[in-house]
Amino acid sequence: MAERLHDDYLHFRAAGMSLVLDCTGGLLPRVVHWGADLGDLTRDALAFLALTEAAQVMSCSLDEPVPVSVLPQQSAGWLGTAGLTGHRNGEDFSTSFSVRSVRSVRPGAGEGPVAHRLTVDAVDGQAELALALEIEVTTSGLVRQRATLTNESDRPYTVDGLLLTLPVPGQATELLDLTGRHLRERSPQRHQFTLGTHLRENWRGRTGIDATLVHVAGESGFGFRTGEVWGLHVAWSGNHRSLAERTPAGVSLLGGGESLLPGEVRLAAGECYTSPWIYGSYGHGLDELAGRFHGYLRDRAHHPRSPRPVTLNTWEAVYFQHDVSKLKALADAAAEVGAERFVLDDGWFQGRRNDTAGLGDWYVDKDVWPDGLHPLVDHVHALGMQFGLWFEPEMVNPDSDLARAHPEWIMATGGRTPPTARNQQVLDLGHPEAYAYLLERLDALVTEYRIGYIKWDHNRDLVEAGHSPRGTAGVHAQTAAVYRLIDELRVRHTGLEIESCSSGGGRIDLGILERTDRVWTSDCIDALERQQIQRWTGLLLPPELLGTHVASPVAHTTGRAHTLDFRAGTALFGHFGIEWDLTLASAEERARLAEWVSAYKRLRPLLHSGTVVRADHPDPALWLHGVVAPDRSRAVYALVQTATSVQSPPGRVRLPGLDPDAVYRLSPLPPGNSPEGPTGYALPWWQGDKVELAGRVLGTAGIQAPALYPERMVLVEARRV
Ligand code: DGJ
């Protein structure tokens, strides 16, 4: 590990990305360049780069140029969204930090996912505040930063907001962000990056079912494979914001931070506030941008590396109808098709016969389970599967012993109780006793039942989330407390895996993923909807972190019917599972499902380590996505007909991501190799000899796609010869 002190220009390079920082003049760092690799640059070249970036002073503006630092300050002349907002009873509302030290460290190879680390210590003597900035570049080429603000005065300082930014060049003229709702997370929306601020702010007290995950600015018409793109992610599971701001002075930037409720962070003497990590990813095309997130996640020491077990989840199979013999039969059927993990969902604890009661009473229901969960757990273990259990720790039904005993543990303010959502309220983890109760319950149950996996749910937005007795705002403390709770549980139970679920994909961010092992991508398991939800969640997360299940023939949330091949082929590109009452499935269906399970087991080493690729195909009804092995020796592609096409036959599709100079043999991949389509005529290459072509040809000219019925897909494998 090499450590150096600087007050100069810094150039960090990783995986084809350059970040150039101007740390001169005792000012907070300014980003001179964030984007494509600039190559090896001398100190003089970096100084010239900074000089040529500096603009002239124009009429009707300040008489000095306005340096925009990663934490933009009004004292420097910045009149856009401020980096730090806060005050001491109305005073010290504006800051001017001077840098005391700049330290850069280059961790050695193999020392985790960080390639370069910069720490900047600054102080504002007048405002009596200290600021520590951490700016890191990961080996995958992400930039991430966070700030710690310390109150160095005896008088309290209230933090209203802390925003960290990264500039993007003027070429970024389009924005992409994601929105959505329950059962339809991650719907993309695109617009011009016009002058002004495009703000995505979330006050839901959880990451949000509509969270953008990544806020992207890019060149006009950018796609998965084309156009330069810059994206920002806020790694925080509570209130947060991200913005894209463009000023008439030619500054364009992306920014992000936690959104704080009034009075939520009030620093007494010596206390500090640390912002969440704010991530920036640059790419030539969205695939590269996503690949940097995937690479970073995979480089973490605690990234799940064991083969992702085929999971049967009981929710859509039985809902609240818990019956031991039925569940044992389901476990038998699960084991028969090759499942490796069995997860008992909602409905097992005291008084929980439906969603109106029981949340908070984390004791096994004696009426339904007179012998506890042991008969089922033992059965599952005897079948060679791991046992997992559902919890929703932060929630409480007013109709529960817990709520009756501790009404003061329910988050509220103003002497009123917030409106319920799914008949529930939020348990205030800011109360040490409530926190201790949950830790004890979770710990005891995990120990007693040798639970290997928790599905950790969170099914409502936080409304008026006050902390009793005074009703002070408590979302920040709640978010920090749930992180602590999960961390503590993981320390006590090495190897315990946790899924982050929140009405489906309502808590997906890199903050929760520091301490969980996958997400429940959506409550909607309709394969057609899942194609789009998984595609866009994949902007942040690699396939192995996405819970993807095969549901019943008719989707419970949309009423659409899909073939088993379409359902399973869609679930293949994630952490594969089943959420279907297999005791009702026919022998043929189970046999076919078992084939898909075997295919998943064969393919998971590739699917969970490779590079995710998506073609920019002109026909909006034909999607092609796939995963290419890290050494590009092999790839699996899915050709998905999402609707009927205007054109028929479909035409050529490109197979992206292959080594241009290598030759690949193409073959339709069973069990997803039978095109069911509107013509009885065979596609020549599909039926004929195995095609062998260079990656350059396959990625440029492409191959004729088979004509498919809508809502069908096929798989194609490319193997280097
Ligand atoms: C919402 C989750 O997203 C579902 O998968 C299921 O676990 C239910 N909650 C149970 O209440």
- Protein residue closest via CA to atom 10 of ligand 1: 346
523 is catalytic: yes
* Distance separating alpha carbons of residues 568 and 573, to the nearest angstrom: 9
Same domain membership, residue 119 and residue 51: yes
Same domain membership, residue 461 and residue 371: yes
- Protein residue closest via CA to atom 5 of ligand 1: 523
- Protein residue closest via CA to atom 2 of ligand 1: 503
CB of 397 within 6 A of ligand 1: the answer is no
Q: Residue 671: give its domain's CATH number.
A: 2.60.40.1180
Same domain membership, residue 643 and residue 572: no
Residue 246 — very low, low, confident or very high, per pLDDT cuts 50/70/90? very high
CB of 219 within 6 A of ligand 1: the answer is no
* Distance separating alpha carbons of residues 102 and 576, to the nearest angstrom: 46
Structure confidence by residue, pLDDT tens digits, 278-290: 999 999 999 999 9
Q: Where are the alpha helices (DSSP H) in 608-669?
A: none
Same domain membership, residue 263 and residue 328: no
Within-domain flag for 305: no
Within-domain flag for 304: no
Q: Domain range holding 646? A: 612-720
What is the SS3 assignment for 308-377?
CCCEEECHHHHCCCCCHHHHHHHHHHHHHHCCCEEEECCCCECCCCCCCCCCCCCCECCCCCCCCCHHHH
Mean pLDDT of 608-612: 98
Same domain membership, residue 626 and residue 576: no
Structure confidence by residue, pLDDT tens digits, 505-559: 999 999 999 999 999 999 999 999 999 999 999 999 999 999 999 999 999 999 9
Total residue length of the chain: 721
Same domain membership, residue 639 and residue 586: no
pLDDT value at position 687?
86
Atom nearest to 422 CA in ligand 1: 11
Structure confidence by residue, pLDDT tens digits, 665-715: 999 999 999 999 999 999 999 987 789 999 999 999 999 999 999 999 999
Within-domain flag for 542: no
CB of 504 within 6 A of ligand 1: the answer is yes
Within-domain flag for 328: yes
* Distance separating alpha carbons of residues 341 and 311, to the nearest angstrom: 5
Find, among 508, 514, 555, the residue nearest to 531 by Cα: 555
Average pLDDT across the chain, whole number: 97
Find, among 712, 637, 1, 605, the residue nearest to 305 by Cα: 605
Q: Which residues, 6+ apart, have CB-to-CB distance to 13 below 8 Å?
A: 19, 37, 38, 137
- Please name the residue that has the structure tokens 């096929």: 714
Identity at 721, one-letter amino acid code: V
Structure confidence by residue, pLDDT tens digits, 491-518: 999 999 999 999 999 999 999 999 999 9
CB of 456 within 6 A of ligand 1: the answer is no
Same domain membership, residue 325 and residue 274: no
Residue 107, SS3 per DSSP: coil
Ligand 1 center to 313 CA (angstroms): 10
CB of 501 within 6 A of ligand 1: the answer is yes
Within-domain flag for 254: yes
Neighbours of 320 (CB within 10 A): 15
CB of 361 within 6 A of ligand 1: the answer is no
Q: Write out the H or E segment, with its range, that includes residue 143.
A: strand 143-151
Residue 111 — very low, low, confident or very high, per pLDDT cuts 50/70/90? confident
Same domain membership, residue 504 and residue 366: yes
Structure confidence by residue, pLDDT tens digits, 326-349: 999 999 999 999 999 999 999 999
Rounded to whole angstroms, what are the CA distances from 557 to 187, 418, 522, 547? 17, 28, 11, 17
Q: Residue 58: give its domain's CATH number.
A: 2.70.98.60
Which of 181, 182, 315, 354, when mutated, tests ligand 1's pocket best, judged by the most ligand atoms within 8 Å of its CB?
315
Same domain membership, residue 702 and residue 571: no
Within-domain flag for 533: no
Q: What is the DSSP letter of 416?
A: B
Identity at 10, one-letter amino acid code: L
CB of 520 within 6 A of ligand 1: the answer is yes
443 is catalytic: no
Query: Which of 177, 523, 526, 565 does the annotation list as catalytic?
Result: 523
CB of 457 within 6 A of ligand 1: the answer is yes
Same domain membership, residue 337 and residue 422: yes
Residue 177 — very low, low, confident or very high, per pLDDT cuts 50/70/90? very high
Query: Which of 457, 509, 517, 565 does the annotation list as catalytic?
Result: 457
Residues of the chain with pLDDT > 70: what percent? Answer: 99
Ligand 1 center to 32 CA (angstroms): 46
Structure confidence by residue, pLDDT tens digits, 407-437: 999 999 999 999 999 999 999 999 999 999 9
What's the predicted TM-score (pTM) here?
0.98
Q: Residue 478: give its domain's CATH number.
A: 3.20.20.70
| Rounded (to 5) percent helix, strand, coil in the chain | 20, 35, 45
* Distance separating alpha carbons of residues 123 and 372, to the nearest angstrom: 58
Residue 192 — very low, low, confident or very high, per pLDDT cuts 50/70/90? very high
DSSP E strands, 83-141: 84-87, 98-106, 114-124, 129-138
CB of 499 within 6 A of ligand 1: the answer is no
Q: Write out the H or E segment, with its range, that includes residue 108.
A: none
Ligand 1 center to 346 CA (angstroms): 7
CB of 391 within 6 A of ligand 1: the answer is no
The total number of structural domains that make up the chain: 3
pLDDT value at position 609?
98
User: What is the crossing angle of helices 587-607 and 564-571, to 10°?
Assistant: 20
> Residue 5 pLDDT more than 60?
no
> Residue 478 pLDDT more than 70?
yes
Q: Are 233 and 509 in contact (CB under 8 A)?
A: yes
Structure confidence by residue, pLDDT tens digits, 350-397: 999 999 999 999 999 999 999 999 999 999 999 999 999 999 999 999
Same domain membership, residue 587 and residue 642: no
Neighbours of 119 (CB within 10 A): 16
The order of strands in the sheet holding 9-14 is 9-14, 17-22, 30-36
Structure confidence by residue, pLDDT tens digits, 252-268: 999 999 999 999 999 99
Atom nearest to 504 CA in ligand 1: 3
Atom nearest to 390 CA in ligand 1: 7
Residues of the chain with pLDDT > 90: what percent? Answer: 97
What the block records as the tokens of 688 is 């004929």
Structure confidence by residue, pLDDT tens digits, 67-94: 999 999 999 999 999 999 999 999 999 9
Rounded to 5 degrees, what are φ and ψ at 517? Answer: -115, -10
Within-domain flag for 590: yes
pLDDT value at position 110?
76
* Distance separating alpha carbons of residues 62 and 76, to the nearest angstrom: 10
Same domain membership, residue 364 and residue 285: no
Ligand 1 center to 91 CA (angstroms): 47
Within-domain flag for 587: yes
Q: Are 172 and 273 in contact (CB under 8 A)?
A: no
46 exposure class (CB count in 10 Å sphere: 0-12, 13-18, 19+): buried
Mean pLDDT of 605-620: 97
Residue 6 — very low, low, confident or very high, per pLDDT cuts 50/70/90? low
Atom nearest to 523 CA in ligand 1: 3
Single residue among 276, 299, 322 that ends a domain in this structure = 299
CB of 183 within 6 A of ligand 1: the answer is no
* Distance separating alpha carbons of residues 257 and 516, to the nearest angstrom: 21
> Residue 2 pLDDT more than 60?
no
Atom nearest to 520 CA in ligand 1: 3
CB of 193 within 6 A of ligand 1: the answer is no
Which of 348, 500, 501, when mutated, tests ligand 1's pocket best, judged by the most ligand atoms within 8 Å of its CB?
501
Rounded to 5 degrees, what are φ and ψ at 262? Answer: -55, 130
